[in-house]
Structure 1
Amino acid sequence: MEPLQIAALSLLVLALVVYRQMRTRPARSRGLLVFGLVLTVAGVYGGGLFDTGFSVLGVAVVAVEVAMALAFGALRAWTVRVWRDADGVAWSRGTGWTLLAWLVSFAARLALFAAGGALGLTYRPAAALVFAGLTVAAQAVLVARRGRTFAGAEWVPAAPQVARDR
């Protein structure tokens, strides 16, 4: 796949993920976790994560990208509203802060990409997939964990139209 195609696909996929996060859904949803892991594996499998011309610098940039992805996933998980309905089912929905955190994480990723370019590193499209996958998976795990903190919360997915937003 060409770098431009990967970038376009990544943006489309992230737009879908953000859209889903802004809707009410069960807090235990494993779909985003699996999706994040698939993106991460696809990015690693795609190769070229490290710029071989600058091996130490390339590894350092990837390490910073991984740390940023996990940190932004945690930040967004913190901004997601999680509650339990009368039936004991835990639900979640993104807030305006979640959307803002997505925009900030996207801007930070672009800034890191620009900084790497200024340092002479070449573009690695697979790194964008790894970043996206890790950040989505981290957020999914932490939102599900928050949903489990409700004592007696059932983990039987109910239909979203049954959820009562309080």
Structure 2
Amino acid sequence: MEPQQIALMSVAVVVFVVYRQMMTRPTERRGILYFSGLMILAGLSGGGLVDTRHLALGVLILIAELAFAVGFGVLRASTVRVWRDPAGTAWSKGTGWTLVAWLASLASRIALFGAGYALGLASAPTTVLLFVGVTIAVQSLLVTRRGRALPGSAVRSSAEAPITS
């Protein structure tokens, strides 16, 4: 896949994900995890994640990118409003702070790319897919976890389950 295609696809994915996060949605969504998993796999399978000419520096930048992806996923998850309705379903909706955190996340990715370029590192365009996949997965997992932790959980423990014969 061409770098321009990867960039356009990544932008389209982020815009779509941010749009969906700003809507009221159930917190239990597996589809976004499958999708982010596919993005992570595409990023990993594309190769070239580390510039082998500058191995130590390339690994350091990749670790920084992954740390930023995880960190911003955690930050954005904390900005999402999560509540439980009377029926016991957990819901979530992004806030204005979620949008600000997304912009900061993207700015950090651009800054890391620029730093790598300034240091003479060759960057594979698939690192964008890895970054976006990781950050979306972390946020989704944490929002789901927050929904499950709310009082009045819709999930019954085995002790509360009805006895059937």
State whether TM-score is above 0.5.
yes
1:82 and 1:34 map into 2 onto residues whose CA distance is: 22
Report the TM-score, using the length of structure 2 for normalisation: 0.92
Amino acid at match of 1:101: A
- Equivalent in the alignment of 1:12: 12
1:150 CA displacement: 1.3
User: Aligned residue for 1:51?
Assistant: 51
In structure 2, runs of 5+ residues without a counterpart are: 156-165
- Mapped partners of 2:41, 2:114: distance in 1: 24
Counterpart position of 1:118: 118
- The amino acid that maps onto 2:87 is D
Deviation of 1:125 (Å)? 0.6
1:154 is displaced (CA, Å) by: 1.9
Matches within 5 A, 1:82-97: 82-97=82-97
Cα shift at 1:123: 2.3
Which position in structure 1 is the counterpart of 2:159? none
Q: Distance in 1 between matches of 2:55 and 2:90?
A: 45
Residue aligning to 1:72: 72
Cα displacement (A) at 1:39: 0.5
Note the alpha carbon deviations across 1:12-48, whole angstroms, 9 max, x for none.
1111011111111101111222211110011001111
The code of the aligned residue for 1:104 comes to: A
User: How large is the RMSD of aligned CA atoms in angstroms?
Assistant: 0.9
Task: State how far apart, in whole Å, the 1-side matches of 2:90 and 2:58 are.
Answer: 41
Q: Paired residue for 1:39?
A: 39
Cα distance between partner residues in 2 of 1:73 and 1:128: 15
**Partner of residue 139, structure 1:** 139
Any idea what SS the aligned residue of 1:18 has? Answer: helix
SS of residue in 2 equivalent to 1:133: helix
Q: Distance in 2 between matches of 1:7 and 1:80?
A: 26
Question: Percent identity of the aligned residues?
Answer: 55
What is the CA-CA distance between 1:52 and the residue it aligns to?
A: 1.2
For residues 154 and 38 of structure 1, the distance between their equivalents in structure 2, rounded to whole angstroms, comes to 29
Residue 60 of structure 1 aligns with an amino acid whose one-letter code is: L
TM-score, length basis structure 1: 0.91
Deviation of 1:151 after TM superposition, in Å, equals 2.6
Q: C-alpha displacement at 1:136, in angstroms? A: 0.1
Is the Cα contact below 8 Å between 2:82 and 2:91 reproduced in 1? yes
Report runs of 4+ in structure 1 exceeding 4 Å deviation.
none
3-state SS of 2:48 partner:
coil
